[in-house]
Structure 1
Amino acid sequence: MTRRAADAMLAAARAAHPFEACGILLGAGSRIDAFVPAANVHPDPARRFEIDPQALIDAHRAARAGGPALVGYFHSHPQGPAAPSATDRAMAAGDGRIWAIAGGDAGVCDLAFFRAAQDGFETLCSAIIEG
């Protein structure tokens, strides 16, 4: 992933605290080139997230028009670890998309990555590239 994308995710988590931040990961394959913050439209944003459906529609339209692909999703756990929660596990589609999760105090301590597989989440290794 690019340093810009990683920094933007952590900044979004800090800005949303004490609520969950969320957004969309753009790139190709397993590479994250950009992060697009999105409104958390869930009625209980302190404990759950729901990416604004319009942001998802816009990302898919842009990809169909030749832009970067939607490769995954981001959200923060303002009071918890950077790991999938029971709610995350129940909500994941098992579609192979990447889930980036920021966790720790104010969501600024950790950033971890997982792939939503059919039988749960697989932990992914990550590397920062310039860009």
Structure 2
Amino acid sequence: MDLMVTSGTIATLIAEAQRAHPRECCGLLLGQAGRVALAQPAANVHPYPLRHFEIDPQALIAAHRAARAGGLELLGYYHSHPNGLARPSQTDAAQASGDGRAWAIVAAGEVSWWRDAPNGFEPLPTRLADG
């Protein structure tokens, strides 16, 4: 199934990557029924943010609590590769959980979409949604 993404979400991801450069940005992809409604920035708490990312655990906890209370679901995550390619790196692959969630990777003004599948990252088809 394709992931629905708005042009506003894509613009937010690119802007966040530019703002954080040369560090990696990261955040959460929130939405419902396979449609990303919000790219929510989170602090990159990794000790080496120039080459790695770690989403602030408090942002993850807050997202799960909000979803349980009827808010938007956690559909996935995003991060940037400031000096790399818009595809999963070896580090990304090593840290993958196989939970089926979406990952957006931003590099060089592009956003690529991936599913964290049980056997590794797979390209995730997306469609542009209105709004």
Code of the aligned partner of 1:78: P
Aligned counterparts, 1:15-30, within 5 A? 15-30=19-34
Q: Which residue does 2:14 correspond to in 1?
A: 10
Task: Tell me, yes or no, if the aligned pair for 1:29 and 1:71 is still in contact at 8 Å.
Answer: no
Question: How many angstroms apart in 1 are the aligned matches of 2:116 and 2:65?
Answer: 22
Q: Secondary structure at the match of 1:128?
A: strand
Question: How many angstroms apart in 2 are the aligned matches of 1:6 and 1:14?
Answer: 13
Question: How many angstroms apart in 2 are the aligned matches of 1:61 and 1:9?
Answer: 23
Q: Which residue does 2:124 correspond to in 1?
A: 124
Q: Which residue does 2:42 correspond to in 1?
A: 38
Aligned counterparts, 1:1-131, within 5 A? 1-104=5-108, 108=109, 110-131=110-131
- 1:28 Cα deviation from its structure 2 partner: 2.1
Q: Secondary structure at the match of 2:65?
A: helix
- 1:5 Cα deviation from its structure 2 partner: 1.3
TM-score, structure 2 as length reference = 0.93
Question: How many angstroms apart in 2 are the aligned matches of 1:130 and 1:20?
Answer: 28
- 1:126 Cα deviation from its structure 2 partner: 1.7
Code of the aligned partner of 2:34: S
Question: How many angstroms apart in 2 are the aligned matches of 1:48 and 1:29?
Answer: 30
Code of the aligned partner of 2:86: A
Q: Secondary structure at the match of 2:48?
A: coil
TM-score, structure 1 as length reference = 0.93
- 1:33 Cα deviation from its structure 2 partner: 1.2
Q: Secondary structure at the match of 1:72?
A: strand
**What RMSD over aligned residues (CA atoms) do the two structures have, in Å?**
0.9
Q: Secondary structure at the match of 2:126?
A: coil
- Work out the number of aligned pairs and report it: 127
- Identity percentage over the alignment? 54
Q: Secondary structure at the match of 2:38?
A: strand
